[in-house]
Amino acid sequence: MNRQSQAAVMFLLGAALLHAGNTDLYLRYVKAGLRPLLLASGAVLIAAALATVWYERRSNRRRGHTHDHPEPKVSWLLLLPLLALILIAPPALGSYSALRSGTALQKPYTYDALPAADPAPLSVIDYASRAAYDHGRSLHGRTVRVTGFLALDPSGAPYLVRMALNCCAADAQPVKIALTGELPPVLRPDAWLEVTGTYTPGLTRDPVNNGPIPYLKVTSARPVPVPPDPYDETWNK
């Protein structure tokens, strides 16, 4: 792989990063807040590739001839992650990962005021932290709406789950809500549901790490498409 080929690979990688950053594809890899850095990285790679081509052409004109030293053929393997990024959009982590990892629920520093809408739209993390650590004080007398995917433990107990990110999909961890009440007759793991319900006291414990899993009493549930951003970034405030 000569310098021109290296520049071409660099250009394609930069273009792939720009494509991912300008679509929802990047949300399968990193959290939404990193989008500006992803776009900047793509732009820098493209600029570096163009600068490399310009420098090589100018050097060749000065020398009057070129003599490319052979590069190890294994260097072409650098194209494999590039092709994977372009051709394969990995699915978001689902119930298989969620049931093999303990809940990552943590006590937040503060709680925002509950949305005035009825039902109040809450993230899985927001509902779970209010129910587990605030003893549901802000949830009493309110109907909430939460969206996540289904996970069924070995006994068939259903959980509404959202994988939460610190940085990227590699560090994703689940936050779980145990579901009771009016559940659909058929529960399919990894199906996404919009659940409406009310707070109910009590906690169960995650068998993986003994972390708290609060309950939500379901009054209605409906299937929804996988959201553009399948991960939840609502960590400690």
Q: Of the candidates 54, 87, 120, which is a domain's last residue?
A: 87
CATH at residue 144: 2.40.50
- 153 and 68 in a common domain: no
pLDDT at res. 196: 97
DSSP H or E segment with residue 18: helix 3-21
Same domain, 106 and 216: yes
Report the DSSP pairing between strands 192-205 and 212-223.
antiparallel
Range of the domain at 173: 95-223
Examine the domain organization and report whether 69 and 15 are in the same domain: yes
Let me know the angle formed at the C-alpha of 93 by 180 and 146, rounded to the nearest 5 degrees. 35
219 shares its domain with 123: yes
- 108 with 147, same domain? yes
**Which pLDDT score is estimated for 236?**
42
Residues 16, 106 within the same domain:
no
Which amino acid, 151? A
| Same structural domain, 102 and 151 | yes
Name the nearest CA neighbour of 86 among 133, 141, 18: 18
Note whether 68 and 106 are same-domain residues. no
Q: pTM of the entire structure?
A: 0.72
Distances (CA, A) of 188 to 41, 93, 185: 39, 15, 10
| Contact (CB, 8 A) for 182 and 171 | no
Is residue 174 classed exposed, middle or buried when 0-12, 13-18 and 19+ CB atoms within 10 A define those classes? buried
Regarding whether 135 and 50 lie in a shared domain, the answer is no
Domain end among 87, 111, 143 = 87
Q: Do 192 and 169 share a domain, yes or no?
A: yes
- Residue 232 located in a structural domain: no
Give average pLDDT by consecutive 10-residue segment, the chain, 237 residues.
74 78 71 77 85 80 61 66 67 85 89 91 94 93 95 93 80 91 90 96 93 96 89 57
What CA–CA distance (Å, rounded) separates 31 from 164?
A: 9
Nearest to 119 by CA among 140, 143, 141: 143
Token pair in block for residue 105: 């629920």
The distance in angstroms from the start CA to the end CA of the chain is 48
Q: What is the pLDDT of residue 234?
A: 53
Q: Residue 175: inside a domain, yes or no?
A: yes
pLDDT at residue 88, as a whole number: 67
Q: Same domain for 99 and 166?
A: yes
Question: What is the Cα 222 distance to its own chain's centre?
Answer: 22
Q: Is residue 195 part of a domain?
A: yes
Last residue of a domain, one of 71, 87, 103: 87
Please give the tally of structural domains in the chain. Answer: 2
CB 124 within 8 A of CB 194: no
